Chain A
């Protein structure tokens, strides 16, 4: 019996280690000095990081991605907070209908989502613009940002707010002094989660870029198809680093338990 347990454990460790393996190998290759992808690298150098920074297209795409992710995260979190606050406090009857509607984009396969979004953004004449990409990202991140906010809001005892109101606190004051601080980790989770998803989104975004604007993942995608320089390894490593730091921050400020908590939400 214990040998069976041990076997399962070893298998688990091997499989777990294989998850980050491809990106670790890319990270390793990014420090190579040779002009093609090489792992393990023969001579270490920062050559490809230098080339990445010198070529203005990469810093530009990086800045655009960070900007779009930040704007998307703030807007989607604010929107979801407003909606979740209203339904839970004033209209709990529509809560499950709203949730179903918010989760509905998840049932759209990515490719179909891409076509739907390209048609929408084209109708609004926003193809190749930051607002167009942000709008699509708002729709894509909506369900992911809703959950942590909804869970945080639901955990607040309504009597607390009622008590505050009885003591003479205005609605606004109660929101500011009680609800927002108690939802802090839910809001932060939503901000970071939506930010990471927007920063890394490629499948829908690649339909919406234009000559003046492209995001980092989409630019990596177009480079992968026609060149194989280790610049891609360097830029990929930077992408991984950004995501890694965001996950660490998430762990610090809100904890990662949110991802594996099953509370019916």
Chain B
């Protein structure tokens, strides 16, 4: 349905419910900005100054940004073999897709709990390693950055698989055949045809995953613990334990600025890369 028809003004009411929801979302976003710049006495930069002046908060920001970077790159790299496998299979694709989709859609808290069971000091991995005799002291696999990175990567890989697979499925089959006919081997075809054509999907995944991990709360709280805070877990504490919505809003504004700048940067890199290939 693309060609417009004349409509009675009453029909425009059909847009109303969605517009109302969007209005509420945008109002809450604007409110978030105004409350970040206010305290009990009116406009103020107090909470931003607090955030900027605390060295331990700098560590939180650095940890959040660096871990999110690692998680995004790791997720995309690890997703490629899975996406290629699904792309290459015809008969089993649907079944394999279910194996990707179900973990993706299962609640974040359930999946993170799974990692708690695996990575804990008495967890399955440590128990197994001890049983085999490789270790006699449990390894510190969680309550540190490693735990957060493992948990977040696992949570976000399915999205990267879906995104890359969409790009792969859009590649025309005869392109590959042509490459084969012209004498290219499997690796060459992958390097010069498949990989470049799937880059847009990989970049979408990279951006969405960076955004998701930089704003994560549940995984850092459960797998990082109190000593390894993320911006998200700081925000959660501000709202739920110190009831300081204004400070939480200031944190959120910092978070939004970082994600906005990173998206801009990624877009630039993407344009460079894709242009460089043409």
Interface residues, chain A, with chain B CB atoms under 8 Å away: 1-2, 4-5, 8-9, 11-13, 15-20, 22-23, 25-26, 29, 37, 39, 78-80, 82-83, 85-93, 98, 101-102, 104-120, 123, 135, 138-139, 142, 153-154, 156-158, 161, 196-197, 199-203, 206-207, 216-218, 220-221, 224-225, 232-233, 236, 239-240, 243-244, 246-248, 251, 256, 259-262
Complex Cα–Cα for A112 and B157 (A): 22
Other than the given A90-B12, A116-B31, A154-B1, 15 more pairs (CB < 8 A) read A4-B186, A22-B117, A80-B18, A87-B15, A98-B15, A111-B255, A118-B245, A138-B21, A197-B105, A202-B108, A203-B108, A203-B216, A224-B113, A251-B94, A259-B162
The 6 closest A-B pairs by CB, nearest first: A109-B215, A22-B114, A12-B85, A90-B7, A200-B107, A12-B81
B248 to chain A, nearest CB (A): 5
By size class, the interface of chain B is: 35 or more
A262 with B99: CB separation less than 8 A: no
Complex Cα–Cα for A29 and B5 (A): 59
Interface residue ranges of B220-263 to A (CB < 8 Å): 221-222, 231-232, 235-236, 239-240, 245, 248-249, 251-253, 255-256, 259, 263
Complex Cα–Cα for A119 and B231 (A): 18
A16 with B82: CB separation less than 8 A: yes
Name the residue on A nearest B88 (C-beta). Answer: A9
B108 with A217: CB separation less than 8 A: yes
- Provided the pairs A25-B117, A26-B117, A120-B31 are in contact, do residues A112 and B215 lie with their beta carbons within 8 angstroms? yes
- Provided the pairs A29-B117, A117-B28, A120-B24 are in contact, do residues A259 and B97 lie with their beta carbons within 8 angstroms? yes
B165 with A119: CB separation less than 8 A: no
A113 with B215: CB separation less than 8 A: yes
Interface residues, chain B, with chain A CB atoms under 8 Å away: 1-7, 11-12, 14-15, 17-19, 21-22, 24-29, 31-32, 35, 78-79, 81-82, 84-86, 88, 94, 96-103, 105-118, 124, 154, 157-158, 162, 165-167, 169-170, 185-187, 201, 208, 211-212, 214-218, 221-222, 231-232, 235-236, 239-240, 245, 248-249, 251-253, 255-256, 259, 263
B101 with A220: CB separation less than 8 A: no
A178 to chain B, nearest CB (A): 11
A200 with B239: CB separation less than 8 A: no
A111 with B102: CB separation less than 8 A: no
Name the residue on B nearest A246 (C-beta). Answer: B105
Name the one of B35, B208, B240, B252 contacting A111, with C-beta atoms under 8 angstroms. B252
Complex Cα–Cα for A112 and B162 (A): 25
- Provided the pairs A25-B114, A37-B117, A262-B170 are in contact, do residues A239 and B106 lie with their beta carbons within 8 angstroms? yes
A119 with B245: CB separation less than 8 A: yes
Which residues of the other chain, A, contact B107 by a CB distance below 8 angstroms?
199-202, 216-217, 220, 239, 243
Name the one of B24, B187, B240, B252 contacting A112, with C-beta atoms under 8 angstroms. B252
Name the one of B24, B218, B251 contacting A202, with C-beta atoms under 8 angstroms. B218
A82 to chain B, nearest CB (A): 4
Complex Cα–Cα for A22 and B217 (A): 20
Interface centre among B26, B28, B217 (most CB of A within 10 A): B28
Which residues of the other chain, B, contact A78 by a CB distance below 8 angstroms?
17
Which residues of the other chain, B, contact A25 by a CB distance below 8 angstroms?
114, 117-118, 124
Complex Cα–Cα for A124 and B212 (A): 27
Which residues of the other chain, A, contact B124 by a CB distance below 8 angstroms?
25, 39
B247 to chain A, nearest CB (A): 10
B114 with A109: CB separation less than 8 A: no
B150 to chain A, nearest CB (A): 10
Complex Cα–Cα for A106 and B115 (A): 26
A26 with B110: CB separation less than 8 A: yes
Complex Cα–Cα for A102 and B21 (A): 9
A135 with B94: CB separation less than 8 A: no
Name the residue on A nearest B207 (C-beta). Answer: A107
Complex Cα–Cα for A18 and B216 (A): 22
Which residues of the other chain, A, contact B4 by a CB distance below 8 angstroms?
89-93
Which residues of the other chain, B, contact A98 by a CB distance below 8 angstroms?
15, 18
Complex Cα–Cα for A90 and B1 (A): 10
Which residues of the other chain, B, contact A218 by a CB distance below 8 angstroms?
109
B217 with A110: CB separation less than 8 A: yes
Complex Cα–Cα for A89 and B116 (A): 50
Complex Cα–Cα for A197 and B245 (A): 26
A164 to chain B, nearest CB (A): 13
